[in-house]
Amino acid sequence: MLANKFKNYNIILASSSPRRQEIFRELNIPFTVEVKHINEHYPSELKRVEITDFLAKLKAQPFDNQLTKNKIIIAADTIVWLENASLEKPKNTEEAVKMLKLLSSKMHEVITSVCIKTSNIEKVFSSVTKVYFKTLTNDEINYYVKKYQPLDKAGAYGIQEWIGFIGVTKLEGSYFNVMGLPIDKLYEELIKL
């Protein structure tokens, strides 16, 4: 049904994330991946969803001069929000270990914003999921960081990996949002187009 609706459109997913690509592929809509590298800095006064909204729009912006009537750009950004601070991608394994120690035995929020852009609309929406971690041991944290190399993930973890299997005790909200793409909301917004 959805594939037919978009057969005359050129949909571009502006994300190098294999997880976002995998999730989006499950909608069975033809799309291509194109990424334009940007400087992912945001004003320091932004908080929570303001950060992800800003960055999702920023990631879609370089496509402005390519937009046509039948082209749809989809860009997204995800952060982990803990104790009034954003945990983004760790720069090294030491930082990854430190982040996981911060998340241990606490609840944090995973916030993803998506920007859908065409030549005549720009729609930004977000999703927030509460994730609860058990108390993680140093051995568990070190094993995960060494074996799974989580440097490309906000908050230094992937819920779909080992640490998610053994560490996450409760979720409130979308599981796929934690993976980086709230596909249920994205589907609804695409239908509205």
- Give the residue numbers annotated as catalytic, written as ranges: 77
- Give one word for 84, left, alpha or beta, with left for phi > 0 and alpha for psi -120 to 50: left
First to last CA, the chain: 14
Phi and psi at 85, nearest 5°, equal -145, 150
60, 73 in Cβ contact below 8 A?
yes
User: If you write DSSP's letter for every residue of 97-120 in order, what string do you get?
Assistant: HHHHHHHTTSEEEEEEEEEEE-SS
- Which residues partner with 123 through β-bridges? 116
Tokens of residue 99, six digits: 């982040």
